[in-house]
Chains A and B, each alone.
Chain A
Amino acid sequence: MSPQPVLEISGVTKSFGEREVLHGIDLEVGEHQAVAVIGASGSGKSTLLRCVDLLEDIDDGDVFLDGEVITDPSVDTVAVRRRLGLVFQAYNLFPHLNVIENVVLGSVRAQDVPRAEAEQRGRELLDRFGLSGRENDHPDDLSGGQQQRVALVRAFASQPRALLLDEVTSALDPELVGDVLDAVRDLKSEGMTMLIATHEMGFAREVADTVCFLHDGRILESGPPERVLSSPERPETQRFLRRLLSAGRA
């Protein structure tokens, strides 16, 4: 009997108008596990993460957080989001606030943590991710890699049950990707539970315990990264990986 998963996605469907983006997704993320969702652009990876964080309403199915359904209309969405952290492809830092204010806003306003305490913890986290001395800079003064690490710290600062990472390296210059992946590795080694949408196969292979291949809104295959990424069973997965390989991204 396996312990209860932190996140359980069960039969989730989602359409935008006529276009069905997710066709019945089933997926589990266990405690301290990292699940990577791979797939082409437009396969529904981002939508899946947004549905889990309740930024999109799902049409059918359920999402459970620690065994409780969170997608029922009666559930307090704000309370659910406070237990999850989401990091965006485009960072989405708050440009009018400096780095430390970005990091503590959620803790102070949503979690009622005293500001001094939140700031101290924020500074420790920034320091840990190589951002000490940047507390008073504004996001525009930072490189993309630094901004994304601030965004990671912001999502992690309120000690979420799980982190949802949406293509966190896709907007970065190649030489800046490494620092962000190091930060994610660091969080993983600390035992953070993560659901990761990614294009970085090397990273998925290294960090993920499970890799799911999403194609046209369906999970076509999933399993340990060495199996899914090295000897995929489905022709769609093989084609996808071959294309990535020829593009030099695998």
Chain B
Amino acid sequence: MSSIVVIGGLAALILTSAGWPDVRRTFFSWEAFKDSFPGVAEGFWLDVKIFVVVELVVLVLGLVVALARTSRAAALLPLRLLATAYVDIFRGIPVILLVYLVGFGIPALELQGLPTDPVVLGGIALSVGYGAYVAEVYRAGIASIHRGQRDAALAIGLTESQAMRFVILPQAVRRVGPPLLNDFISLQKDVALISILGVLEAFRAAQIDAASTFNYTPLMAAALLYLCVTVPLARIVDRIGLGVGGQTR
């Protein structure tokens, strides 16, 4: 009841504000929405495709880096150092900067065989940035598995790598499902950063529309499309999060 009062109050406050008629015209114009939606949706489809590919790359890259960082063999020390340096560097740089550096830096090298397509370059930047985050999520999951599990796996005659593959990793991955999905919601949104390389994805398409009509409704259309993906993802996170308390299998 009280929440209805609060929300109603806020709505009344906004709707009666002096600027509301202008805001409504520039942000919530049905006409502008209809005109811009097809173009923005087309751009958003590109976002989704980039997201899916980058997500798959990140899942694999993050796992490889996490395994390298948690390896124990003395001979693998260089690999451990490399993995640590990778995580430190790419987790420490803002994603928007990575997109700039990769997107404009790699083509500037003018080397044969390197990609020049901004979609690919942007995807690479997102992949290395998020790969570093996801590696740490996996690593935290691996570290959270009680050492008795490794002992038991070795005791039944498994090798270190078999213990990791059959005993530790399956439990660790289950445990980090919710934080992984959280990172993917961030990633889904950060795909919009590729627009700075000139890729015509949803945000860029909406921006162009907005600039040519002096109406910001296309941006609202883009926001709506993002919510259509991120809200269901958030519900999946909730589901899995609840499942962990009550034993996921």
Chain A interface residues toward B at CB < 8 A:
50, 53, 55, 78, 81-82, 84-86, 88, 90, 92-96, 105-106, 109-111, 138, 140, 154-155, 158
Contacts and interface: CB of A to CB of B under 8 A. Distances in A.
A111 B159 CA distance: 11
A105 B156 contact: yes
Contact of A96 (B152, B156, B158, B174): B174
25 contacts: A50-B151, A55-B151, A78-B154, A78-B158, A81-B155, A81-B156, A81-B157, A84-B155, A86-B155, A90-B148, A92-B151, A94-B153, A94-B167, A95-B171, A96-B249, A105-B166, A105-B167, A109-B157, A109-B158, A110-B156, A110-B157, A110-B158, A110-B159, A138-B249, A154-B156
Given A138-B249, A140-B247, A94 B155 contact: no
Interface residues of B, number: 19
A55 to B, nearest CB: 6
A84 B157 CA distance: 8
A200 B36 CA distance: 79
Contacts, number: 64
B156 to A, nearest CB: 3
Contacts of B157: 78, 81-82, 106, 109-111, 158
B170 interface: yes
A50 B150 CA distance: 13
B213 interface: no
A94 B156 CA distance: 12
A111 B156 CA distance: 10
B70 interface: no
A92 B170 contact: no
Contact of A88 (B148, B166, B171): B148
B170 A96 contact: yes
Interface in B215-249: 247, 249
B186 interface: no
Contact of B166 (A53, A92, A109): A109
B149 interface: yes
B144 interface: no
A106 B156 contact: yes
A88 B156 contact: no
Given A105-B166, A109-B162, A53 B155 contact: yes
A88 B151 contact: yes
Given A109-B162, A138-B249, A140-B247, A96 B171 contact: yes
A92 B156 contact: no
Closest 9 CB pairs of A and B: A106-B156, A110-B157, A82-B157, A92-B152, A86-B155, A92-B148, A96-B170, A106-B157, A96-B171
A53, A90, A110, A158: residue with the most chain B Cβ atoms closer than 10 Å = A110
